[in-house]
Amino acid sequence: MTEDLDFGKGGGLVPAIVQHWLTGAVLMLGYMDAEALAVTRASGLVTFHSRSKARLWTKGEHSGHVLRLKGLHVDCDADALLVLAEPAGPTCHRGTASCFGEARPPLGFLAELDALVARRAAERPAGSYTTGLFEGGIRRIAQKVGEEGVETALAAVAQGDAELLGEAADLLFHLTVALRARGLGLADVATLLADRHAQRSKG
């Protein structure tokens, strides 16, 4: 609970690590005092105490590249904060997604892919292959999933690693489109897998 944070250890400030709520990528490090934390929770926009400006500073207050709050977690010593956020644009002032360069967890791109497919479903830009799939309807999308599934299975049996990876990527993409056509996403699949694992671990 954030009420347990010990601001006294750091002279009134605690380090706040900001992580992308879906991809897991570490976006930036800032510092919060009790007031910055309260403003963050009240506004839903991640706000820090700027040590250089000696005032509260909401990320993106000038650029518009805000961080929308998704969750807060206190570390085991109650002297650091993990902030889960959804970035609206690049986080770093240099124009990169993260202040730590383009480093991201390998599986983090799946969340980016899922988000991109969701945007395609909503916006339907002309000329997009994904738009064409959505316009073709769920039966056409399901057909593509079936085709890619067969090709992936064949590659696993009779082809090399490069071919298997290529077919698996095609299958995963079309499966993501199929899920989104039904109003679902990869996060829903991950949640189900995690729940199944938890249940089996108890058994």
In the chain, % of residues over pLDDT 90: 77
Give the model confidence (pLDDT) of 148-181 as tens digits. 999 999 999 999 999 999 999 999 999 999 999 9
CATH number for the region 2-87 comes to 3.10.20.810
- Identify the band that residue 24 occupies on the pLDDT scale cut at 50, 70 and 90: confident
CA distance 185 to 137: 17
CA distance 145 to 125: 22
Residue spans per domain, the chain:
2-87, 108-202
- Please state the pTM of the whole predicted model: 0.72
Give the model confidence (pLDDT) of 84-117 as tens digits. 999 999 999 898 989 988 767 778 889 889 999 9
CA distance 22 to 92: 18
What SS3 class is residue 49?
Answer: strand
User: What residues form DSSP beta bridges with 55?
Assistant: 50
The CATH number of 108-202 is which of 3.30.830.10, 1.10.287.1080, 1.10.3720.10, 3.50.50.60?
A: 1.10.287.1080
